[in-house]
Chain A
């Protein structure tokens, strides 16, 4: 039998721990799968968050054992950075499990190494380049979702005349769907979309030029290409992760054995 005081202390500690765990989850919500442009938390990749006072361990699992190492590495790095931003956190360990390059990635991220260092001789691609390619796609994808909605509501002419000031106003619009899409696009637009004065047009091509009704048909082709590809891919990842967790093949999948490329 524990003393009542001890029980109360334990409950307080548990509550504090749950609060901290929730803190970490919220922080990880800012980490996007670079290819899917979806938060890793929404994708169900984060399996467990273990706490020991101010040390955090994040365990994550991808949809297959063979998911690309470069994306896994980017996500692991970003998770570590995001969790380290929390004021109470002293130390973060990120652990990818059940993946062909788990050991290399976990060691590399812990040591703060770059991808090329970790996979020297195996990878030539600069990850910054990959990041940029997928940021471009994310930019167009987010723009397309908002633009589609606005064209549906207001017509093409008015939607294309939207300025950056108008876009900011949409972030506090009454309609929740508009709010969410406007905020996601605004984040990209300010970083990657060209002129940022309040009178600049909100919808710009990748090179920062405004999308005019005249340039619209060509721009539409670029939008069409990225539209749906990331969505469909995200669906595939969800499908595979779900299958992996609920119907693991006998003898593999749901354990913590870490393999490495020999």
Chain B
């Protein structure tokens, strides 16, 4: 829960957190080190100097560490966990559903545990999905299309192997699919991280909701194109807000485009914890405003209502989480939220690309 200086309460759902173990004894090979090293680069590059962790803590912060950073210091009411196995690199896996389940067990009312699946695992993978769902009753699964699996270095959502898995999810009542579409990291084949495969599957399964984690970054443009057409595609912001300290100009640019193409109702805040922590991101985000030109381009200012939606209400609606009455929107109709009336910021209507340098 975040309290504004004027006393408004903001319900916070961190829709992208991890509980990983990259300690030396869990690294299967050198990749286990280089993988966490890449994450560490993001942590160092994006986190304010005085808030950086030691590399040792970064490799393993544990349940109590996460609880302090998220719930005690980080304003988080609900944290959504996205497991990834990465057993090719880590002996017991990097951020598996079992590791995540321990956090859920410790904080059952504050943690949303998601499942995972890999359609390359065939019939055995389907059995595993069913067994894990029976055990954990998750509403969503995480897909990591760039993950190595034996000889395979990635797969596409267009692949036929997806069909039995999607049908299984429908049968289980799992209707939220998180797809990792992030920075240009290791898949050899553009297809493994190309965001365009979301288009087809989102059309084929209109009752499912697809959360594209990292908004396809750096190919945010491709993501915007797809999300603009497919109403069941959401933007998982993780990594985008992390720019707010080190590169505020680019953060503003990305937010502006995402709001222009998706509007304020389909964007979900995520800290990508432990790469970056929600405390400082949320503080900076609550203080952040678009310039008049940016607001004009985004078709909305970052009003309190818009921030409330992004920080928690959108995810609460998607996941059907309970929101305290005092945190709900006064007027749930999105029509006038944060809209800037022409002439209010500027008496001259102008071309959206006219932006003062």
List residues of A whose CB falls within 8 A of some B CB: 35, 63-71, 100-101, 119, 121-125, 129-130, 133, 137, 144, 147-149, 151-152, 156, 220, 223-233, 235-236, 239-240, 242-244, 246-253, 259
Decide if B347 is an interface residue (CB 8 Å cutoff): no
Task: Report Cα–Cα, A68/B188, bound state, in Å.
Answer: 6
Q: Which chain B residues numbered 39 to 89 have a C-beta less than 8 Å away from chain A?
A: 40-46, 55
Is B128 in contact with chain A by the CB < 8 A criterion?
no
Q: A65-B37, A232-B218, A232-B220 are in contact. Are A249 and B55 (CB under 8 A)?
A: yes
Is the CB–CB distance between B38 and A66 below 8 Å? yes
Give CA–CA (A100, B153) in the complex, Å: 13
The interface size of chain B toward A, counting residues with CB under 8 Å, comes to 54
- CB-CB under 8 A from B43, the residues of chain A are 243
Q: Is the CB of A251 within 8 A of B33?
A: yes
Q: Kindly report which residue of chain B lies nearest to residue A250, judged by CB atoms.
A: B55
Which residues of chain B are within 8 angstroms of A35 by Cβ–Cβ distance?
184, 218
Question: B184 contacts which chain A residues (CB < 8 A)?
Answer: 35, 67-68, 71, 233
Nearest-neighbour CB distance to chain B for A167, whole angstroms, equals: 18
Is B38's CB under 8 angstroms from A64's CB? yes
**A242 touching B45 by the CB < 8 A rule?**
yes
CB pair A243 B42 closer than 8 Å: yes
Name which residue of chain A comes closest to B37, CB basis: A249
Q: How far is the CA of A227 from the CA of B258 in the complex (A)?
A: 12
Q: Determine the distance from Cα of A110 to Cα of B220 in the docked complex, in whole angstroms.
A: 34
B151 within 8 A of A: yes
Question: Any chain A CB within 8 A of the CB of B190?
Answer: yes
Cβ–Cβ < 8 Å partners of A253 in chain B: 37
Interfacial chain B residues near A246, Cβ < 8 Å: 44
Give the 9 A-B residue pairs with the shortest CB-CB distance, closest first: A233-B218, A239-B45, A225-B221, A65-B34, A243-B44, A228-B253, A243-B45, A232-B250, A66-B186
Give 7 CB contacts A-B under 8 Å. Answer: A64-B38, A69-B186, A71-B184, A121-B151, A228-B257, A231-B253, A244-B41
Q: Is there an interface contact between B247 and A228, defined as CB atoms closer than 8 Å?
A: no
Which residues of B lie under 8 Å from residue A124 when comparing CB positions? 189, 191
Interface residues of B in 174-213 (CB under 8 A from A): 183-191, 193
Q: Which B positions have Cβ atoms within 8 angstroms of A? A: 30-31, 33-38, 40-46, 55, 151, 153, 183-191, 193, 217-222, 224-225, 243, 246-247, 250, 253-254, 256-257, 260-261, 297, 351-357
Q: Is the CB of A122 within 8 A of B34?
A: no
Structural contact, A229 and B220, CB atoms closer than 8 A: yes
Closest A residue by C-beta to B252: A228
Chain B residue contacts of A239, Cβ below 8 A:
41-42, 45-46, 246-247
Whether A235 contacts B247 in the complex (CB less than 8 A), given A35-B218, A69-B188, comes out as yes
Residue on A nearest B186 in the bound complex, by CB: A66
Name the residue on A nearest B190 (C-beta).
Answer: A125
* A259 contacts B218, C-beta separation under 8 Å: no
Tell me the minimal C-beta distance from A170 to chain B in angstroms. 17
CA distance A239 to B218 in the complex (A): 14
Chain B residue with Cβ nearest A68: B184
Of chain B, the residue at the smallest CB distance from A152 is B354
* Given A152-B356, A229-B257, 14 extra CB contacts under 8 A: A66-B186, A68-B188, A70-B188, A70-B190, A71-B184, A228-B257, A232-B218, A233-B218, A236-B243, A243-B40, A243-B42, A247-B41, A249-B36, A259-B34
Distance, CA A129 to CA B196, complexed state (A): 15
Would A68 and B357 count as touching, CB distance under 8 A?
no
Nearest chain B residue, comparing its CB with the CB of A240:
B41
Would B41 and A64 count as touching, CB distance under 8 A? yes
Assuming the contacts A152-B357, A228-B257, asked whether A240 and B42 have C-beta atoms less than 8 A apart, the reply is yes
Chain A residues with Cβ under 8 A from B254's Cβ? 228-229, 232
Is A232 a contact of B221 with CB atoms below 8 Å? Answer: no
Q: Is the CB of A151 within 8 A of B186?
A: no
Please give, as numbers and ranges, the residues of chain A lying within 8 Å of B353 by CB-CB distance.
144, 147-148, 151, 220, 223-224
* Cα–Cα distance between A149 and B353 once the two chains are bound (Å): 9
- Provide the residues of chain A in CB contact with B191, threshold 8 Å: 124-125
Q: Are B41 and A243 in contact (CB under 8 A)?
A: yes
Q: Which residue of B lies closest to A100 (CB)?
A: B186
Docked Cα-Cα span, A148 to B352, in Å, equals 10
Contacts of B253 in A (CB 8 A): 227-228, 231-232
Are A122 and B257 in touch, CB under 8 angstroms?
A: no
Closest to B34 in A: A65
The answer to whether B34 and A235 have CB atoms under 8 Å apart is no
The residue of chain A having its C-beta at the shortest distance from the C-beta of B297 within the complex is: A224
* Given A226-B221, A230-B218: A240 touches B185 (CB 8 Å cut-off): no
Nearest CB of chain B from residue A17's CB, rounded to whole Å: 33
Interface centre among A65, A137, A227, A248 (most CB of B within 10 A): A65
Residues of chain A within 8 A of B357, CB atoms compared? 149, 152
Q: Which A-chain residue is minimally distant from B256 (CB atoms)?
A: A228
Interface centre among B185, B254, B261 (most CB of A within 10 A): B185
List the B side residues contacting A64 at CB < 8 Å.
37-38, 41, 185
Is A252 a contact partner of B189 (Cβ separation < 8 A)?
no
Inter-chain contacts of A149 with B (CB < 8 A): 357
Known pairs A152-B357, A243-B45; A235 contacts B33 (CB<8 A): no
A252 to B22, CA, bound (A): 14
CB atoms of A67 and B33 under 8 A apart: no
Contact B41 A233 (CB under 8 A): no
**Are A233 and B35 closer than 8 Å at their CB atoms?**
no
Rounded to whole Å, the gap between the CB of B246 and the closest CB of chain A is 6
Residues on B with beta carbons closer than 8 Å to the beta carbon of A68: 184-188, 193
Which A residues are CB-close (under 8 A) to B151?
A: 121
Contacts of A122 in B (CB 8 A): 153, 188-189
